[in-house]
Amino acid sequence: MSGVAAEQNLRVSLPSQELADAVELPAGVEVVLWDLTGEPPAPHLDLVVPPYMGKPDALAALAAVSVGLVQSQSIGYDGVAKALPAGCRFANAAGVHETSTAELAVGMMIASQRGLGDFARNQSTGTWDNGLRPSLADRRVLLVGYGGVGKAIEARLLPFETEVTRLASRARDDATGRIYGIESLQEQLPLHDIVVVSVPLGEQTRHLVNGEFLAAMPDGALLVNVARGPVADTDALLRETSTGRLRAALDVTDPEPLPQDHPLWTVPGVLITPHVGGASTAMLPRMARLIRKQIGLLQAGEEPVNVVLGGGDGR
């Protein structure tokens, strides 16, 4: 029976020729290019890959076709459930972006701790400022969110001789020790020099980083947000950083893009990158491998991986 399933022909929609060229397609797969704008290329598509970083509203275009699986190029899927037509299965890109996002998070920590932004600005004026800066070594780091990104960040932090505490939605133990639950957040925040947020955006995490959260962080602490912009209350963050009491390294903001005249841009001690956690050369080959894996599973009549909406979720 599996031999019959393996012979299934599939029609796959990809958003760009670059991605189509990167995917090693097996026999029996027809590729069409569609970025969810304009008329659908066929009445049925077995696999649809939307453009990277597209708005969830674009998924409304799928109502005009029958779709077997929607394969996102992002890990997060906030807002997708409301836009996804009934009957569609939706998979996220878990396994694609964790490495790059963790790499950026650690890079931002090093840049913020060691003052690399200040040194870059000083270079334009020839200013020699070699004062003492905080290290990353020996810092106590709290990971708020312990999914794939949080675990990847931890793996990269430990060789820097940091002391890492893990905190997730529920308390549990693993082979390396305790993972605290969200109920321990206010208790843990004052104990750490650096707090890294990598939780998914949802009703429970929107404005998780609020005035109370920030007030619990010790003076001089660094907040790193590689989650989603609305996880943090921008007004509260601006209040705490503009006084110099806290510092921040933000790959995501609310609103996004951050307006050119927004005061957060010019706050000393705030480092901002434009939501580029996953935007590295590691993305294309990893995304291509995931798509190739999904095609193989669909051809074999097996369940795809990373399905987060549709199927057994009641939709």
Q: Which of 183, 256, 302, 303 is catalytic?
A: 256
- Mutual angle of helices 148-157 and 98-114, in 10-degree steps: 50
121 is annotated as an active-site residue: no
228 is annotated as an active-site residue: yes
Q: Which of 89, 139, 275, 286 is catalytic?
A: 275
- Mutual angle of helices 98-114 and 116-125, in 10-degree steps: 60
Q: Which of 228, 240, 247, 286 is catalytic?
A: 228
192 is annotated as an active-site residue: no
- Residues identified as active-site: 228, 256, 275
